[in-house]
Amino acid sequence: MIGHREKTAAAAHARSAIARRNCKEGVRNPTRGERRRIGQATALWLGFALGHVFVFGCVVEPVVHDVSDEGPPRLDWSDWGLVLNRAVMEDRVDYRKILADPAPLERTLAMIARVGPKTTPDLFPDGDSRIAYYINCYNVTILRSIVALARNGNVPDKAPTDLDIRFRYRVDGELWSPADLREKVVALAGNDWRVWFALCDGRRGGPPLHPRPILGELLDGQLNFVTRMALYAPGVVQIDHGAEHRILLWRGLYSIKDRMIADYQARMGTTHATILNVLGEWSNRLRREYLNTAIGYSVAEHPFDQRINKLEEMPQPAGLKLF
């Protein structure tokens, strides 16, 4: 039986022989980078042929141009505001409305491709404006990634596990995946954990999409609002009164709960706080009464819900015809 070393040596010998032959015939061997690009191009072509997209990320370019392409780049979230106003319904998104008129979303993509802290730094004078920009870009690209999954005018029921890396977008002159943009937001925000609740990953088991663009001059107030609304969502915080008696937290919240508790203790000058104390601070009276039913419960990560946060079509009563 031939061992691994013998196989490796034989393969190297064969490659050397091919290289010597190509050199004699005047054929240049591709470099490592060329081989990698050829491999990626081949994989991408096969992916389209087979209906798949590979994990290194398909680049998505906007299919319409930004209306301001002829003039100097400018930051304008009006098209993104239109998308949100049309499609966001409480904690769900009506993707049919986006698919019916994709132009505003495509114009938003065209805008963020040429506007950003790197390409147009004068438009982003402070940290809040940069954080707001990348939050919007994350939500825009996640929404566009879900739209890219649509077939025959319908998005699937479940999101693929690689949704945040499956596609890449031109943002601020460079290619970014949604996962890259999320990391950028978290890095810029530093200790401000509220940004996690402004990032909607397109699934039911996470924060809902805020129905307004995030703006730098309003960032603090908007982060307070989205945090409060997210902590009310059943996919983010749920009390399990069953046999196990658990407080179930969305995985993003579960990952930062210790930071949230430490922040609460530092501000309140107390010790031995729990996640219920933190949640209670963000709740009204009725919500606190609900949370207090879980005193003494264990804290666990909520089972990951991969269902897309799409608005379900309401069934029509039998015999009813709509014109």
* DSSP track, 30-43: PPHHHHHHHHHHHH
pLDDT category at 222 given cuts 50, 70, 90 is very high
Q: Are 199 and 207 in contact (CB under 8 A)?
A: yes
pLDDT above 50: residue 41: no
Q: Are residues 66 and 185 in the same domain?
A: yes
Q: Are residues 285 and 214 in the same domain?
A: no
So what's the pLDDT on residue 71?
73
Q: What is the pTM of this model?
A: 0.79
So what's the pLDDT on residue 61?
82
- The whole domain housing 68 covers 58-232
> What six digits make up the tokens of 24?
């004699």
Q: Are residues 242 and 227 in the same domain?
A: no
So what's the pLDDT on residue 7?
44
Listed residue (245, 258, 252, 261) closest to 304, CA to CA: 252
Beta pairing, strands 88-89 & 174-176: unpaired
Q: Are residues 217 and 259 in the same domain?
A: no
pLDDT above 80: residue 35: no
Worst-scoring range by mean pLDDT, 60-64, 151-155, 196-200? 60-64
Q: Are residues 218 and 245 in the same domain?
A: no
Q: Are residues 95 and 78 in the same domain?
A: yes
Asked whether residue 94 is domain-assigned, the answer is yes
- Which one has a higher pLDDT value, 54 or 182? 182
Q: Are residues 262 and 216 in the same domain?
A: no
pLDDT category at 313 given cuts 50, 70, 90 is low
Q: Are residues 148 and 253 in the same domain?
A: no
Strands (E), 102-197: 167-171, 174-176
Q: Are residues 62 and 116 in the same domain?
A: yes
Given 232, 251, 283, the domain boundary residue is: 232
Asked whether residue 53 is domain-assigned, the answer is no
93 - beta bridge partners? 88, 310
So what's the pLDDT on residue 57?
63
- Rounded CA separation 319/251 (Å): 44
pLDDT above 70: residue 31: no
Asked whether residue 16 is domain-assigned, the answer is no
Section 230-236 average pLDDT: 95
So what's the pLDDT on residue 46?
40
Q: Is 61 exposed, middle or buried (0-12, 13-18, 19+ CB in 10 A)?
A: exposed
Q: Are residues 64 and 178 in the same domain?
A: yes
Asked whether residue 149 is domain-assigned, the answer is yes
Listed residue (191, 192, 202) closest to 143, CA to CA: 202
pLDDT above 90: residue 16: no
- Which one has a higher pLDDT value, 1 or 122? 122
pLDDT category at 50 given cuts 50, 70, 90 is very low
pLDDT above 70: residue 55: no
Q: Are residues 195 and 222 in the same domain?
A: yes
So what's the pLDDT on residue 23?
41
Q: Is 42 exposed, middle or buried (0-12, 13-18, 19+ CB in 10 A)?
A: exposed
Give me the chain's average pLDDT, please: 85
Q: Are residues 142 and 264 in the same domain?
A: no
Look-up of token digits 């790197």 = 118
Q: Which helix (H) or strand (E) holds 18?
A: helix 4-24
Worst-scoring range by mean pLDDT, 61-75, 205-219, 254-268? 61-75
Section 236-243 average pLDDT: 96
- Total domains in the fold of the chain: 2
Asked whether residue 38 is domain-assigned, the answer is no
Percent of the chain with pLDDT over 90: 74
pLDDT above 90: residue 5: no
- Rounded CA separation 112/97 (Å): 22
Asked whether residue 29 is domain-assigned, the answer is no
So what's the pLDDT on residue 310?
97
